Amino acid sequence: MIKPTATDHARTILHLVSLIPYGCVVSYGQVADLAGLPGRARLVGHTLRRHDTEQLPWHRVVAANGRLSLPKGSHALIEQRQRLLSEGITFKGDAISGLCVAMTLHQWQPDLGAILMLFEG
């Protein structure tokens, strides 16, 4: 068994993020889990920060508590919020509303099987 390198992990993470459907959100931790990296949510955030992501729906990745964990005052934070709003995601204060999170999880789950097969087959 060859130990995956950091680059492999980054590639897997970026691919998973690219698969998040329009109007859906997932947490950093979920992406990490799907990438086979449980407990490594920070790696997901780190990866998104390092690669700049013109073609990637990075804005659909949020903190597990439904808030946006980008640096306060950053341009990226403004943009993320705006993009989510434009996709129909609703906010309650600083956090995505609970109903919305549940809906997005429901939409995400059906794709899990295909995604996992993609990475394990």
Give the footprint of DNA on this chain (CB under 7 A): 6, 9-10, 27-30, 39-46, 48-50, 53, 58, 61, 63-65, 69-71, 76, 80, 95
- Of 16 and 45, nearer to DNA (C-beta) is 45
Contact 89, 25 (CB under 8 A): yes
Q: How far is the CB of 11 from DNA (least distance, A)?
A: 11
Q: Each residue of 89-99: b (16+ CB within 10 Å) or e? A: beeeeeebeee
Q: How far is the CB of 115 from DNA (least distance, A)?
A: 17
- Of 71 and 121, nearer to DNA (C-beta) is 71
Handedness of CA 21, 24, 27, 30 (dihedral sign): negative
- Of 8 and 116, nearer to DNA (C-beta) is 8
Q: How far is the CB of 49 from DNA (least distance, A)?
A: 4
- Of 24 and 44, nearer to DNA (C-beta) is 44
**CB-side neighbour CA atoms (13 Å) of 89:** 30
Handedness of CA 95, 97, 103, 106 (dihedral sign): positive
